[in-house]
Structure 1
Amino acid sequence: MSSNTQPGSTTAPRAPAWTVGDHTVRRIDETALPPQTGPWLLPGANADVVARTPWLRPDFADDQGVLRLASHTFAVEVEGLRILVDTGIGNGKQRANPAWHNLDSDYEARLTAAGFAPETVDVVVLTHLHTDHVGWNTRAEGGSWVPTFPNARYLTARTEWDYWAGVEMEEARRQMFRDSVHPVRDAGLLDLVDVPDEGTDIAPGVRLLPAPGHTPGQVAVELSSRGERALITGDSIHHPVQLGHPELCSCVDISPELATRTRHRLLDSLAGTSTLLLGSHFPPPTAGHVRREGDSYRLVPAAPGFATPQLRSAPPSA
């Protein structure tokens, strides 16, 4: 809609944003995922389950009980440090999933319009090393894949890296590492972070919390400022239907039992608090507050505003 378009721009809508104390968290949209994503990703979330969870409609499911999902990332500036949480699917990547294959989105333009031009990003947090969370790590240049964020440190949990380094991967996943992870490592930009049970701070008011199960080293990202708090889920919670039914697991969870325990732990810690939950694949409105509903939970949406871009020039070349 024109009301969401940045002045002077005809292509890049303004980024939806939420305030957390002094922090402003921007959602950088990549693409809506096709309707068949829900039945594949969360096979237990059938139309009957959705019908028993009426608060999902109309935002999070349609009238036929089909889940809505999206690919986006989050950008936040903390005391002058520009942080991007996950990097989506990426453009022009050869992928087995048809919805991700050779994508051509305007993500980079949206990121720049939000005031986070790639060369100005300082930190990239990779919640886990799955294809749809690392794609914009790199971009094509001269027949090669090069880091999209050349001045950033890319952070992922050491447990996550060690797991993938020690397992036999199918060719599609090896391809993803070749085009979206190894070029970052080879450029010396990848940092492995030890994440203890209590979490670890990576910047003032930015903390990585262990959220294993979907992958062994997955993290959630906690933002805090002036007594306010938000939590970015990663894939510990793929969709709000999992608040109503925390036992629902993804078809790609490496340890479904651990993923379920992690989800229960996170939701129990958030229920009834003022903490904002930001879903890494939740469709608009994307964020909300967790409330108890019987033996489960529900999400009370928190509508975003639209923040003014915070522009910063790239650092001079060495």
Structure 2
Amino acid sequence: MDNENVQRITLGDVEIIRLVEWRGAFMPAGELVPDAPPEVWQRNADWLAPDHWERESDRAAMALQTWVVRSAGRTVVIDPGVGNGRERPGSPFHHWQGDFPGLLAAAGIEPEEVDTVVNTHLHVDHVGWNTKGLAGGWVPTFPNARYLMPAADDHYYGPDNGYAKGLRESDRLIYQDSIAPIHRAGLAVLWDEAYRIDEHLTLEAAPGHTPGSSVLRVRSGGDRAVFVGDLVHSPVQLLAPSCSSCLCLDPAGAATSRRRILERAAELNELVIPAHFGGAGAVEVRSAGGGFALGAWREA
């Protein structure tokens, strides 16, 4: 039986399942989206708080969550969280312990039935449950799945590029426990530009947040959605799409990708599904005065 952390949306013949590990205040709002004026948060406080903004502490509220899509007989896991028991020094995810396996079970999903895992990009909170720890080391959590990873991110964060040119020790740790075991198991599929999963699901490059960051488009009948990953961390970025988060490697490139993706979402009436929204997990957007306005929220 589903619980409050396992929610569902149906779009045409596609079922979307949301698995929420954690919700809460994450970091100061002005740090998360540094170019967004404080008045944008204040002016929209009536709906940003409490799901997207903790007004008293001025901290952005977010969720750690994974999405599962059932489409054309496939079970597709999108961005499987942080993973448990990882070495992440200096990170809030150091030795994280969540209940992702329990959420999968509550949703009626067995790891062996998963056909495809999508990592929209290779940041820590999008790849962790690619693997699980056994006595002999890290092994794929989903042993029968193809793991679709952006080739540009695999190159940037992998040993060929010196783990992002040695910028952070955490990049090496993430790659070694969450990416390299997938390669060793022969389950990694690297892609560039675009990749079609089935008649409903297509991956598309949207660089900027990372070199290979991507979005997943859903189209079934007259229904459409787009999983935008970390192109949008806060609804404030829907109102101010030129403002990238502090977590974007290429803020200008991320802003270009964000505007392109949101313009198409508004034009085609695609439901926008970001990776980390608290509260309702999906929202419609509309073009408005050279920018965007929020339409209806969809609970998921």
TM exceeding 0.5: yes
Map of 2:186 onto structure 1: 188
Match of residue 121 from structure 2: 128
Which residue type is aligned with residue 40 of structure 2?
V
What is the number of residues matched between the two proteins? 293
> Kindly tell me: are residues 60 and 300 of structure 1, through their superposed partners in 2, closer, same or farther at Cα, counting changes over 3 Å?
farther
CA contact (8 A) 1:38 1:69 kept: no
Correspondence for 1:308: none
The 2-side partners of 1:250 and 1:275 are apart by 23
Amino acid at match of 1:254: L
Task: Give matches, 1:243-254, under 5 Å.
Answer: 243-254=238-249
Does 2:49 align with 1:57?
yes
- Deviation of 1:37 after TM superposition, in Å, equals 5.9
Residue 228, structure 1, aligned to residue 219, structure 2: no
What TM-score results when the alignment is normalised by the length of structure 2?
A: 0.90
Offset from partner CA, 1:244-301 (integer Å, 9 cap, x none): 1112112221211111111111111122643111111111201010023433223334
For residue 101 of structure 2, give the secondary structure of its aligned residue in structure 1.
helix
> 1:128 touches 1:218 (CA, 8 Å); kept in 2?
yes
**Which residue does 2:278 correspond to in 1?**
283
Query: Once the 2 structures are TM-superposed, how far is the Cα of residue 46 of structure 1 from its aligned partner?
Result: 6.1
Contiguous gaps of at least 5 residues in structure 1:
1-5, 306-318
Matches within 5 A, 1:103-252: 103-164=96-157, 165-166=160-161, 167-169=164-166, 170-195=168-193, 199-252=194-247
Task: Provide the C-alpha distance between the structure 2 equivalents of 1:275 and 1:259, rounded to a whole number of angstroms.
Answer: 19
Q: What is the match of residue 75 of structure 2?
A: 82
State percent identity of aligned pairs. 37
Greater CA deviation, 292-301 or 85-94? 292-301
Q: Detail structure 1 runs of 4+ shifted over 6 Å in the superposition.
A: none
1:262 counterpart (257, 266, 279): 257
The answer to whether the 8 Å contact 2:150/2:213 transfers is yes
What is the identity, as a one-letter code, of the residue corresponding to 1:41?
L
2:66 and 2:77 in contact (8 A); partners too: yes
SS in 2 for 1:128: coil
Partner of 1:18: 9
Q: Once the two structures are superposed, what CA deviation does each residue of 1:158-186 show, in whole Å capped at 9, x if it has no partner?
A: 22222333241321110111111111111
Work out the CA distance in 1 between the residues paired with 2:73 and 2:235: 32
Contact 1:74–1:84 under 8 Å retained in 2? yes
- Which amino acid in structure 2 is aligned with residue 85 of structure 1? I
Q: Between Structure 1 and Structure 2, which shows a larger proportion of helix residues?
A: 2
Alpha-carbon distance between aligned partners in 1 of 2:274 and 2:22, rounded to the nearest angstrom: 15
Structure-1 separation of matches of 2:25 and 2:137: 29
Q: Report the RMSD for the aligned CA atoms in angstroms.
A: 2.0
Counterpart-to-counterpart distance in 2, 1:96 and 1:299: 38
Question: Could you tell me whether the CA contact under 8 Å between 1:53 and 1:244 is conserved in 2?
Answer: no
Amino acid across the alignment from 1:168: K
Letter in 1 for 2:51: D
Q: Post-superposition shift, 1:116?
A: 1.8
Change (3 A) 1:299 1:53: same
TM-score (norm 1): 0.85
* Cα distance, 1:39 vs structure 2: 4.4
